[in-house]
Chain A
Amino acid sequence: MGILIIILKIIACLIALAAFVFALIQAVYWLNIDNKIMFLLYKIFNRITDRVPRDRRF
């Protein structure tokens, strides 16, 4: 009986974990977090590789 309860608890934990991960991915999707993070990274790398002096830009 004790083992059964432990197994049930583990299954419940796994389900809760899966639900949490799913909710997290859903939040990333709906709040467009992937694109927002990429935009920040893009800004950083864009700045790093921008070597042309301003007076040569139009």
Chain B
Amino acid sequence: MAEKKNFGSRKRFYNGYELARYRKWKGFKDSWVDFKEWLKEKKISGELLKADPVRAFKALTYYHWMAPYLGSGSMVDRTIDDAHGEALLIAHKYMQFLLKSNVEALIKILKSDERFGENEYSKKTVIFEQDASPILIGGFPNLQNAVEEPYFHILATANDQHAGHYFTDIIDSYGLPSDSCRNSSAICGVAIDDQLPYYGACLITSNAPCDSSVMNSSIVERRLKVPSIQGCTPMRWKDEDTREYAVAHVKEVIKFIEDCTGETFDWDAFFETVRQYNEETRIQHELWELAKSPYYPVPSVPNLLYRSFQLSFSSGLNKECAKIGREMLEICEKCVREKINVRPKTRYRTLVCGAPSSYYMHFSTWMYECWGVNTVAVLNNMSHHEFISEDDKEEALWGVAQLWEQAIMRRHLVGGYENLLEMFEEYERFNCDMIVFYDDITCKGSKSMTGMIQDIANERNIPLVWISHDLIDPRAIPRNEMRKQFNDFMFSVMNEKPLDESLLDFDDSKGW
């Protein structure tokens, strides 16, 4: 096959790569902002090496999931490529916060890793598996949490599209059918290849988001060699009858952590974390209110990543999360109040549903640049968004159970058809013109619903496009195939012409 040559706005990239020869000129003001924020990002990335250079080097030469993090600077560039003015500042701030949090989490993992020598941190670490919120650690001020799995495949793949399939190949060659969920398969591959760090006082596995993750827990448990318990909460979370069981189980998890670490659950500290969580949630509700406006400036990808972080990693534990949220809120309010349009290419507003592909996190950036389709809301972001009681112990534990029950993916992929159909309400609420549904080909959760969803969309005359992808394996459905699916839809259903023809068909299958 002849190699595709880049032209137009793709000309600054090496053919086949998402690596730019030079940076984009964004005008004097924006380029200066971009430069200043870029400097801050370099400083944040450098912290990883500064914190413990020896362990960082050992990790880079042992863990296959570590090198992709060298691409985090490029990942930031990719996700903010479509941002200008206030949107650029917001995107940078969000990404700096995420970068900092990732660096801190990696430092925590490296410092606690007994593979690289004894240390004081390992036995103070409680590991939370998959996307279960670590909010309970708020009640143990002397302990630290590690939400580990996403770092080894999902986030690594977000930095480098080829990071994850190294691990899925390992588990596939062990005999697991390769149409199993790639998310769970990859973490099994990490475990089988002995690429999990040796650390932790105990492990809280999780039945969130689905049965596929329950199966991967058993493999992770065996490899980690630390005591474990399943943070197992009812699937039917809307059913009040499950409440008693769910709360009892959260209490069991607390007791388990106490037994494993010798610490006692501190209710005051826990309620402080809950207050922080509620503040994060309150800010999110206000941002959603603003997102209904045509002047909402937040670009989709940083927004999606920030919200996922807030739910699955912070949950009130990271004090900076609410702080940065408040700063963003102020900028957004200003844009809406003063009618500042920083997304001028917008021709359509879209709601995005389903699990986005990790290897093409910046698909929304491309949709905006190529077609003027602005992602204003993400259904997965509307996972748990209720407030948790700040003074009643039983109510608060019920809140924790619900937070696990409505984790990302659980609510809108495998949580039953009622939740998935919330998409049509959200479509109206955010004044959208179309729905983009990320169709993860190995996620069976929403697969059975595709016909029904399409029928409802047809009945209501809502343009809906399915974008198939393989979550963390770009070899099955490369990024360009995803783009082609969207192009076909825009040409044939929406009768549109692209804003930038050079972005219609290009190859970025190699490298990051």
Please list the residues of chain A having a beta carbon within 8 angstroms of any beta carbon in chain B. 25-26, 29-32, 34-36, 38-39, 41-42, 45-46, 48-52, 56-58
Decide: B193 and A58 in contact? CB cutoff 8 A.
Answer: no
Cβ-defined contact, A29 with B160, below 8 A: no
Chain A-chain B contacts (Cβ-Cβ < 8 Å), number: 77
Are A42 and B169 within 8 A (Cβ)? no
Question: From DSSP, what is the main secondary structure of chain B's interface residues?
Answer: helix
Question: In the complex, which residue of chain B has the Cβ closest to the Cβ of A40?
Answer: B70
Residues of B within 8 A of A (CB): 19-23, 35, 38-39, 42, 60-64, 66-68, 70-71, 73-74, 77, 160, 165-166, 169-170, 172-173, 178, 193, 475, 511-512
Whole-angstrom CA separation of A27 from B267 in the bound complex: 53
- Whether A38 contacts B21 in the complex (CB less than 8 A), given A45-B66, A52-B170, comes out as no
Contact indicator A42/B68 (Cβ below 8 Å): yes
A52 and chain B: residue at smallest CB distance: B170
- Within 8 Å by CB of A56, from B67, B73, B170, lies B170
Q: Enumerate the 9 nearest inter-chain pairs by beta-carbon distance, A residue then B residue, closest first.
A: A45-B67, A49-B64, A56-B173, A42-B70, A38-B70, A46-B67, A35-B74, A45-B60, A57-B169
In the bound complex, do residue A49 and residue B71 qualify as a contact, i.e. CB atoms below 8 Å apart?
no
A38 / chain B contacts, CB cutoff of 8 Å: 70-71, 73-74
Interface of A is mostly: helix
Contacts A/B (CB < 8 Å), 5 sampled? A35-B20, A36-B19, A39-B512, A48-B60, A51-B193
In the docked arrangement, what's the CA distance between A48 and B66, Å? 11
Chain B neighbourhood of A52, CB < 8 A: 166, 169-170, 193
State the Cβ distance, A2 to closest chain B Cβ, in Å.
39
Give the shortest distance, in Å, between B199 (CB) and chain A (any CB). 19
Tell me the smallest distance from the CB of A7 to a CB of chain B, in Å: 30
> A26-B35, A42-B71 are known contacts; what are 16 more A-B pairs with Cβ within 8 Å?
A29-B38, A31-B21, A32-B22, A32-B23, A35-B20, A35-B74, A35-B77, A41-B70, A42-B68, A45-B70, A49-B60, A49-B66, A49-B67, A52-B170, A56-B170, A57-B166
